Amino acid sequence: MSTMDDHAQQQGEAAGMAAEIRERLGSRPLVIVGLMGAGKSTVGKKIASLLGLPFFDADNEIEAVSRMSIPELFEAYGETEFRDLERRVIQRMLEDGPMVLATGGGAYMNAQTREAIAALGVSVWLKADLDLLMERVSRRQNRPLLRNANPRDVMKKLMAERYPIYALADLAVTSRDEKKEVIAQEVLDALSGYLGLCETDTSGQAVTGNIPS
């Protein structure tokens, strides 16, 4: 077979796999959780385009409904009020049907938000190590929790507090120094295994991205 035929076949298989995943997800959004800088927005957008689903970012949605930025919300109302607004916005988005939804880093720590995600969606934790997170968050100054003399220590503390909770998500995929396309494909492989579309190994990881015919 020619390279062009190979390419067309791969494209066809990818489209078929996306359609199967969409069908098995039904109305459940794919919800991405994890720390600031893990790649939830970047990888989430890529996953959405591979699946042919809309992408939404809960932080952006909160900013749109409140007409304030996240740092302004923290400043004006404090973290507790912010979490409550975040919970309400995410609850509404979860009821909006199929989509890829990137949540804010702290959203999954709220028990009610977590329960709503478990009831209405399929969750995936994008897990990353400290060095990668610090390198990636250093590019922007829009994270109120890291506006601190020692953001690395804050991030370390957040990892200790949050990783056992993020681990409750349906799936975990390691976000590494790899192209977003590679991480997005690994999420799709893990999701295929979770949805029963391909074989998984004893730890629940997909052993192949192929859907049995």
Ligand X SMILES: Nc1ncnc2c1ncn2[C@@H]1O[C@H](COP(=O)(O)OP(=O)(O)OP(=O)(O)O)[C@@H](O)[C@H]1O
Ligand Y SMILES: O=C(O)C1=C[C@@H](O)[C@@H](O)[C@H](O)C1
How far from chain centre, in Å, is Cα 156? Answer: 20
21: left (phi over 0), alpha (psi -120 to 50) or beta: alpha
Classify each residue of 133-162 as buried b or exposed e, where b means 16 or more C-beta atoms within 10 Å of its C-beta: bbebbeeeeebbbbeeeebeebbeebbeeb
Distance, CA of 24 to CA of 28 (rounded, Å): 9
Spatial neighbors of 36 by CB under 8 A, at least 6 apart, are 105, 133, 137, 143, 145, 146, 155
Please report whether residue 40 would count as binding ligand X according to CB under 6 A: yes
Q: Which of 25, 38, 89, 120 binds ligand X (CB under 6 A)?
A: 38
Contact window for Mg ion (CB under 5 A) among 41-49, 124-132, 135-143, 186-194: 41-49
Please report whether residue 144 would count as binding ligand Y according to CB under 6 A: yes
Please report whether residue 41 would count as binding Mg ion according to CB under 5 A: yes
Q: Which of 29, 39, 98, 193 binds ligand X (CB under 6 A)?
A: 39
Q: Which of 132, 145, 154, 195 binds ligand Y (CB under 6 A)?
A: 145
Out of ligand X, Mg ion, ligand Y, none, what residue 145 binds, judged by CB under 5 to 8 A for its kind, is ligand Y
Please report whether residue 29 would count as binding ligand Y according to CB under 6 A: no
C-beta separation of 123 from 108 below 8 A:
yes
Residues 90-129: x where in contact with ligand X by CB under 6 A, - otherwise, as a string: ------------x-xx------------------------
Q: Vertex 129, ends 48 and 90: CA angle to 5°?
A: 40
Of 148-207, binders to ligand Y (CB under 6 A) are: none
Please report whether residue 106 would count as binding ligand Y according to CB under 6 A: yes
123 among annotated binding-site residues: no
37 among annotated binding-site residues: yes
Distance, CA of 104 to CA of 136 (rounded, Å): 15
Please report whether residue 172 would count as binding ligand X according to CB under 6 A: no
Q: Where are the beta strands (DSSP E) in 6-99?
A: 30-33, 55-57
Q: Vertex 86, ends 73 and 144: CA angle to 5°?
A: 40
Please report whether residue 104 would count as binding ligand Y according to CB under 6 A: yes
Residue ranges in contact with ligand Y by CB under 6 A = 36, 59, 70, 104-106, 143-145
Residue ranges in contact with Mg ion by CB under 5 A = 40-41
Residues marked as binding for substrate? 59, 83, 105, 162
